[in-house]
């Protein structure tokens, strides 16, 4: 056995040991019946550790920076296909002008800013005050965002009370895989949508491939993201997520597999959703 093979085997054994010791707790079933909160405090604390490098395109957040090459057009085009965006503005600099979007779990604002630059009025919310401060400070450097972008330290369930059915779109990218109570989270996100509004999510599927690539490869071997960022048992498959969305009155329009190349730091669409995927659904009424 070569040295590299031995090291990889050891990493896999250690990861299996850690996964076993967690006893798959909480399981997906138990997670969906936990206390009524859309936020996992431990995940928030872990993500706050990366606050200082959030906008460093060469740091641990670089996969999220480069993901904008897929997720921003995905949201823009989805809003046109759903009939929310004005087709007369499709080829303009601000094709999403007049639309209200809420970015749930916005973090430091990596997705909120480009959506605002496309003309939408964007509200970014996050459970972390530290990350909201990072987002606000970065946005201050771009005068074109004034009046189009605001950040609020709040939860989806709190905003849903204040702003129920006020948004043309809800965006939540790379968030639900950190959420314990996924059903409740989806319910609150849908409450924010106007009838016929769109919800866009990107996340990681719960498969053997995602465990090997997303945790063993990305966290334990390549160190692309800090260890402990993801928990495989909290990943969710497309059919599971579609069922949750349907439970709260949303019909899935599109599911697109996504693939990340860590060597080139590039994302591309894939016919397979066994790793990462994007989903667009529309609220029926």
174 assigned ligand-binding residue: yes
Residue 205 · residue 179 · CB < 8 Å: no
Q: Please spell the DSSP secondary structure of 141-172, one letter per residue.
A: T-GGGTTTEEEEE--HHHHHHHSTT-EEEEEE
Report the alpha-carbon distance of residue 132 to residue 142 in Å, rounded. Answer: 16
20 assigned ligand-binding residue: no
113 assigned ligand-binding residue: no
33 assigned ligand-binding residue: no
Exposure b/e, 181-210, CB count within 10 A at least 16 = b: bbbbbbbbbbbbbeeebbbbbbbbbbbeeb
Residue 205 · residue 277 · CB < 8 Å: yes
130 assigned ligand-binding residue: no
From the annotation, which residues make up the binding site for Mg(2+)? 174, 177-178
From the annotation, which residues make up the binding site for S-adenosyl-L-methionine? 71, 105, 126, 173
From the annotation, which residues make up the binding site? 71, 105, 126, 173-174, 177-178
């Amino acid at each position: 056995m070569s040295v590299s093979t031995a090291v990889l085997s050891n990493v896999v054994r250690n990861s299996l040991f850690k996964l076993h010791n967690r006893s798959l707790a909480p399981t997906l079933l138990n997670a969906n019946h936990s206390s009524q909160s859309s936020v996992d405090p431990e995940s928030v604390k872990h993500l706050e550790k990366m606050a200082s490098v959030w906008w460093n395109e060469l740091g641990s957040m670089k996969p999220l920076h480069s993901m904008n090459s897929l997720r921003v057009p995905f949201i823009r085009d989805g809003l046109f296909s759903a009939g929310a965006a004005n087709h007369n503005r499709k080829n303009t600099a601000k094709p999403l002008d007049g639309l209200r979007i809420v970015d749930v779990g916005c973090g430091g604002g990596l997705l909120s800013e480009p959506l605002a630059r496309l003309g939408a009025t964007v509200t970014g919310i996050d459970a972390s005050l530290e990350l909201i401060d990072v987002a606000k400070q970065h946005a201050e450097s771009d005068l074109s965002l004034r009046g189009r972008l605001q950040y609020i330290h709040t939860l989806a369930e709190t905003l849903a009370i204040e702003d129920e059915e006020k948004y043309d779109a809800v965006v939540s990218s790379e968030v639900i895989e950190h959420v314990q109570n996924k059903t409740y989270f989806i319910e609150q996100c849908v409450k924010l949508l106007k009838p016929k509004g769109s919800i866009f999510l990107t996340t990681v599927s719960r498969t053997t491939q995602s465990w090997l690539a997303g945790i063993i490869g990305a966290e334990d071997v390549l160190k692309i993201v800090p260890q402990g960022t993801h928990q495989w048992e909290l990943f969710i498959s497309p059919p599971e997520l579609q069922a949750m969305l349907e439970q709260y009155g949303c019909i899935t329009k599109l599911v697109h597999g996504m693939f990340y190349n860590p060597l080139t730091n590039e994302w591309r669409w894939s016919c397979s959703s066994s790793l990462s995927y994007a989903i667009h659904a529309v609220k029926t009424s």
